Amino acid sequence: MTTMTSGTVATSRGEARRVRRRRLGPLGVLSHMALLVWTVLVVVPILWTFLASVKSEDEIFGDAWSLPATLHWDNFARAWEQAHIGQYTLNSVIVVSFGTIGTMLLGSMAAYVLARYPFRGNRAFYLLFVSGLAFPVYLALTPLFFVVQNMGNVPVLGPFIGLNTHAGLVLVYIAYSMPFTVFFLAAFFRTLPTAVGEAAMVDGASHTRVFFQIMLPMARPGIVSVTIFNVLGQWNQYQLPLVLLQERDKWVLTQGIADISTAAGYDQDWSALFAALTLAILPMLVVYTIFQRQIQAGLTAGALK
């Protein structure tokens, strides 16, 4: 008796599912088509660039979709050496490493104090930082150029933080990364429980120690998201280095890539351009493939707050 009833229920469920499937059915094919079209739109330009990076100059100016007769790996050597992609990549790594470490250290310190220590003026400082989210950076561009130029005249430190210095750019990156970092981390610190820190204080730990040894480890998920956000943001930055770094050997990768294509047409090395593009895209592809979950979460975290 019981088995029979359950059998009927099962069949009617299956029946309902079939009805549902029929209703949605033929569109399934069309959905896949739409998704495939967009996949092609995303993947093909990138693969085409990779393909062109091993073509000879003549092949690049010939039919766009011809396959290379031989693989010209020397394009990569020329891009790395003569187009200085190696140097620019190194510069980017240096600037972004220090920029992100500095941003995370100073940003988390400010966010923690503003989130956890009520004092007169707390709200004002918080709003000062967060207001930076709304301003277009282009308004500050001209004065910023002169601020950094004047920094070059500061005694002792000047030569290291003026125009055309990596340390100068690092400081600017840190400052311009503050609004989002403080905004996001302050919100995160507010959600953490207070009891653990208080217990440690009772046991005699200093404020500084509580921050570095208890609160920072507890805030790890938030720290990871914002770090990813800042690394990508600073790595991809083009506007600020364009204004602040005018000497070629100081340039970061984005400037180098943009320059190969905008430089006046004399003696253009197009195959090296494609190799340079590939050298800029491939590492991102590898890093993205490994960390795609964290990267997607890190970049969208801000929008979901």
Partner 1 sequence: MLFQRYRRGLFITAFLAAPVTLYLVYVISPYIQAFYIAMTDWRGVTAAPRFVGFENFSRLFSDGIFWQAVRHNAALLVLLPLLTIVIALFFAFLLNVGGGTGGLQGISGSKLYRVIFFFPQVLAVAVVAVLFQQVFRPDGSGMLNGPLMALGVKPIGFLSDPDIAFWSVLGVMVWQAVGFYVVLFSAGLASIPRDMFEAAQIDGAGRGSLFFRITLPLLWDTVQVAWVYLGILALDVFAIVWVMTDQHGGPDFSTTVMAAEIYRNAFSYFRFGYASALGVMMFFFTVGFAIISLRLSRRERIEY
Question: 217-256: which residues touch partner 1 (CB under 8 A)?
Answer: 232, 235-239, 242-243, 253-255
CB of 255 to partner 1, least distance (A): 8
User: How many residues sit in the footprint of partner 1 (CB under 8 A)?
Assistant: 103
CB nearer to partner 1: pick between 2 and 189: 189
CB nearer to partner 1: pick between 8 and 206: 206
Site for partner 1 contains 106 (CB under 8 A): yes
Q: Which of 23, 155, 191, 265 binds partner 1 (CB under 8 A)?
A: 23
CB nearer to partner 1: pick between 1 and 124: 124
Q: Which stretch binds partner 1 (CB under 8 A): 77-85, 125-133, 185-193, 219-227?
A: 125-133
Q: Which stretch binds partner 1 (CB under 8 A): 4-12, 121-129, 185-193, 216-224?
A: 121-129
What's the rounded Cα separation, in Å, for the pair 131 and 116? 20
Produce one character per residue of 176-210: b if its CB has 16 or more CB atoms within 10 Å, e if not: bbbbbbbbbbbebbeebeeeebeebeeeebeeeeb
Site for partner 1 contains 189 (CB under 8 A): no
Q: Which of 13, 20, 123, 190 binds partner 1 (CB under 8 A)?
A: 20
First vs last C-alpha separation in the chain = 54
CB nearer to partner 1: pick between 44 and 196: 44
CB nearer to partner 1: pick between 1 and 41: 41
Q: Which stretch binds partner 1 (CB under 8 A): 2-10, 83-91, 112-120, 187-195?
A: 112-120
State both tokens at 116.
């956890």
Site for partner 1 contains 128 (CB under 8 A): yes
CB of 2 to partner 1, least distance (A): 25
CB of 247 to partner 1, least distance (A): 15
Q: How far is CA 232 from the centre of its chain?
A: 1
What's the rounded Cα separation, in Å, for the pair 185 and 191? 10
CB of 82 to partner 1, least distance (A): 17
Half-sphere exposure of 187 (CA within 13 A, CB side): 14
What's the rounded Cα separation, in Å, for the pair 3 and 209? 65
Q: Are 254 and 236 in contact (CB under 8 A)?
A: yes
Angle between helices 74-81 and 85-116 (to 10 degrees): 60
Residues in region 74-103 near partner 1 by CB under 8 A: none
Q: Are 110 and 211 in contact (CB under 8 A)?
A: no
Residue 253's CB: how many other CB atoms inside 10 A?
A: 26
What three-state secondary structure class fits 238? coil
Phi first, then psi, for residue 206 (nearest 5°) are: -80, 165
Q: Which of 113, 115, 185, 245 binds partner 1 (CB under 8 A)?
A: 113
